[in-house]
Structures are given as C-alpha cells and as structure tokens.
C-alpha cells in the first residue's frame, strides 16, 4: 500500500511576471485598505470637531469674569468658528459627492447611522455658530465693544 505525501508548502507562481503581478495586486489592496481606514478615521474626526466646537462655544459661561477676558475669549471663538465652518464644508462636500450622477454606479446607500451622525454634526455646527453670534451680541450689549 503506497501512500502519497503532499507538500504543505504554498504554491508558487511559475513565472516571474505572475509573481510581480501578484505582488502588485497585493500592494494595491493594502493601499486601498489604508485609504479606507483613513476615511473612516476622518469620519470620526468630523464628529469630534462638531462636539468640540459646541463645547468650546458654550464653556464661556462657566466662569464669566475669569474666562470672559479677551486673551482667552477671542481664540476660543475663533477655534469654535473655524471648527464649525470646516465641519459644514466637509458635510457639503460629502452631500455634493453623493449627488454626483457619475458616481452613483459605484456607491452604496449610506447607512442610517451614518446619516444620523451627519445630521447631528450639522445641527451641532449650526448651533455652535448661533451660540457664537449670541455671545458676540451679548458681549457687545454688555461691554459696548467686540
């Protein structure tokens, strides 16, 4: 009774061109995965920017006398304004890319969770801008200067 033993080594492509093509395809897939990971992290960063901008705009009322000095108040307002505007610009770009008819064939519909997250970011950004405007208005009414 003869037994056949099979090699447990992985099969190697016979031609150098096949090896190069396999290595190139592997590299391409690794790069694609890295790009996907980057954009997933960027999505989380957008939500963080919205929450941070809102928190920055609302913290001015915690200790009115100490925090309301211009050396701290102005940079906080600039940071909150810039974060909100950046968040709105990113959301607008996402909306425009989804509406582009040339990309519909390769897109899947966004999940409900993603749409809710984007709506929350939009609400937080608009609320932050409204709070900045309200803060500047009340500051002008109280101190008669910006």
Per-residue pLDDT, 119: 93
Q: Is residue 136 part of a domain?
A: yes
Nearest-angstrom CA–CA distance, 135 and 141: 10
In terms of residue numbers, what domain contains 88?
Answer: 43-102+110-143
Helix axes of 16-58 and 112-143: crossing angle, nearest 10 degrees? 40
Q: Is residue 139 part of a domain?
A: yes
How many domains are there within the chain? 1
Q: Is residue 62 part of a domain?
A: yes
Contact 131, 55 (CB under 8 A): no
Q: Is residue 34 part of a domain?
A: no
* Alpha carbon distances (Å) from 46 to 8, 43, 74, 92: 48, 5, 23, 12
Query: What are the tens digits of pLDDT across the range 95-113?
Result: 888 888 777 767 788 889 9
Q: Is residue 20 part of a domain?
A: no
Q: Is residue 72 part of a domain?
A: yes
Nearest-angstrom CA–CA distance, 9 and 42: 41
Low-confidence ranges of the chain (pLDDT < 50): none
Q: Specify the pTM.
A: 0.53
Nearest-angstrom CA–CA distance, 57 and 55: 5
């Amino acid at each position: 009774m003869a037994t056949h033993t099979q090699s447990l080594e992985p099969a190697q492509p016979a031609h150098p061109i096949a090896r190069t093509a396999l290595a190139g395809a592997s590299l391409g897939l690794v790069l694609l995965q890295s790009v996907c990971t980057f954009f997933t992290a960027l999505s989380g960063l957008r939500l963080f920017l919205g929450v941070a901008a809102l928190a920055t705009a609302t913290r001015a009322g915690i200790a009115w006398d100490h925090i309301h000095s211009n050396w701290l108040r102005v940079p906080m307002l600039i940071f909150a304004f810039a974060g909100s505007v950046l968040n709105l610009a990113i959301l607008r770009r996402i909306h425009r890319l989804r509406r582009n008819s040339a990309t519909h064939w390769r897109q899947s519909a966004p999940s409900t969770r993603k749409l809710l997250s984007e709506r929350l970011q939009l609400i937080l950004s608009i609320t932050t801008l409204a709070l900045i405007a309200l803060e500047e208005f009340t500051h002008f009414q109280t101190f008669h200067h910006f």
